[in-house]
Amino acid sequence: MAITKEVLDELLKEYKRPDDFYGPDGLIKQLSKALIERAMQAELTEQIGYEKNEVGEKQSGNRRNGKSSKTLRTDQGPMEIAVPRDRDGEYDPQIIAKHQREWRGFDEKIMAMYSHGMTTQGIQATIKEIYNVDVSSGLVSRVTDEVKGLVEEWRNRPLEPFYPVIFFDALRVNIRDEGHVTKKAIYLALSIRLDGQKEILGMWIERNEGSKFWMGILNELKNRGVQDILLAAVDGLTGFPDAIQAVFPKTEVQLCIVHMVRNSVKYVPYKDRKAVTTDLKEIYLAPSEGAAAAALERFAEKWSRKYPAISKSWQNRWSEVTPFMKFSPEIRKAIYTTNAIESVNYNLQRNLKLRQSFPNDESAMKLIFMILQRISKRWTMPIRNWGEALHQFAVIYGDRVPL
């Protein structure tokens, strides 16, 4: 639908400065109000079957029944619109839904920039540079505050009863707490669903982890509908194994091998690091648990005199290192490492680098939620070799896998 030059000239004849266009009483606001109200009248006409003030026999017994007032929040400030009513109460507005209170314009652009980690000042500067329009910090804050409801709805949504694999990991960010900036952990749970697709199940914040903290998270997942998890892949999170055995006793805990290797070589001098890493690879790439145990013995014989803590750490956590060894090499790659969730954390850190700290927990949760929503839109395919993995899960775990 084209708008003629004459119409545009008429609309813009009083235009002298940006406020005449975007301001609280500017043309955009006036046009929006007029178009919304006109569209609503058209919707009502379509529903009841006759034009306003139309004479003659009507197609239905329903009638127009005046108007009600509704205030929308817009980029230009509050905007009051007249909503037409019908006698039977059947009219359901489409252009502005019954409970909708927002008419978005720059809101969507603000949310997009916010989800990329931009600060309020950065968003203001970008909109000014691109559109030559000043938006207040209050508008940016109001728009981003709307995320709070979405976050709570997302964090409390029902979950599926069964997940083959769930990865748990933490991202640490600086958050102001009682007047001081403190490093806190944002904990994430990333699942692989039965269809092989990835899904973030939840997000929690806590300064210190432990069995009690993890018990709360796992019970929350259970209360939201989760009944069974085959494997929980973690980065040695303190207190997690005890907690998951209490809430999901059938679930196996798989330590992230990548983190095990990193922690093993953390204090190994550079001259020995490659050799130690190569020998560790013989352990976690062994074809069976028995072969892996033999490789660990050889490693201890070779390196325990110089680095006794390495073989000891693997021996102490052996039951949490080996669950993946019952699977084929292709499947191990999908479950023995938390690389999947580390990829999420990498994207989060890249988008959070503009934020030196957050004013409070809520601010951190809002931004991380928005980034996660954007990241997850790219998850359109199941993970590689998922069909083979699911078949092996069914053979090993039997009726627990609902095929």
Specify which residues 83 forms β-bridges with. 68
Residue 387 falls within a domain, yes or no? yes
Domain identity same for 82 and 209: no
Vertex 150 angle, CA 149 and 155, to 5°: 100
Domain identity same for 175 and 286: yes
What is the DSSP secondary structure assignment for residue 358, as one 8-state letter? B
Residue 363 falls within a domain, yes or no? yes
Domain identity same for 186 and 82: no
Q: What is the pLDDT of residues 273-319, one digit of tens each?
A: 999 999 999 999 899 999 999 999 999 999 999 999 999 999 998 98
Domain identity same for 224 and 372: yes
Domain identity same for 234 and 327: yes
Residue 27: count of CB within 10 angstroms of its CB? 16
| 3-state percent breakdown (helix, strand, coil) of the chain, nearest 5 | 50, 20, 30
Q: What is the pLDDT of residues 200-238, one digit of tens each?
A: 999 998 767 788 889 999 999 999 999 999 999 887 778
Residue 128 falls within a domain, yes or no? no
Query: Over 70: is that where the pLDDT of 332 sits?
Result: yes
Q: Name the domain count of the chain.
A: 2
Domain identity same for 87 and 233: no
Domain identity same for 38 and 179: no
47 versus 71: which is more confidently predicted?
71
Measured distance CA(27)–CA(10) in Å, rounded: 11
Domain identity same for 341 and 221: yes
Q: Which two tokens stand for residue 108?
A: 């969507």
Q: What is the pLDDT of residues 10-55, one digit of tens each?
A: 666 766 665 666 666 777 777 778 878 888 888 888 877 777 766 6
Domain of 38?
A: 1-49+63-95
Domain identity same for 87 and 181: no
Domain identity same for 245 and 327: yes
Domain identity same for 223 and 345: yes
Residue 316 falls within a domain, yes or no? yes
Measured distance CA(251)–CA(253) in Å, rounded: 7
Residue 105 falls within a domain, yes or no? no
Instruction: Return the closest-CA partner of residue 203 out of 368, 72, 339, 74.
Output: 368
Residue 384 falls within a domain, yes or no? yes
Domain identity same for 361 and 283: yes
Residue 125 falls within a domain, yes or no? no
Residue 261 falls within a domain, yes or no? yes
Q: 0.85 cut: is pTM over it?
A: no
In this prediction, residues 108-117 reach a mean pLDDT of 67
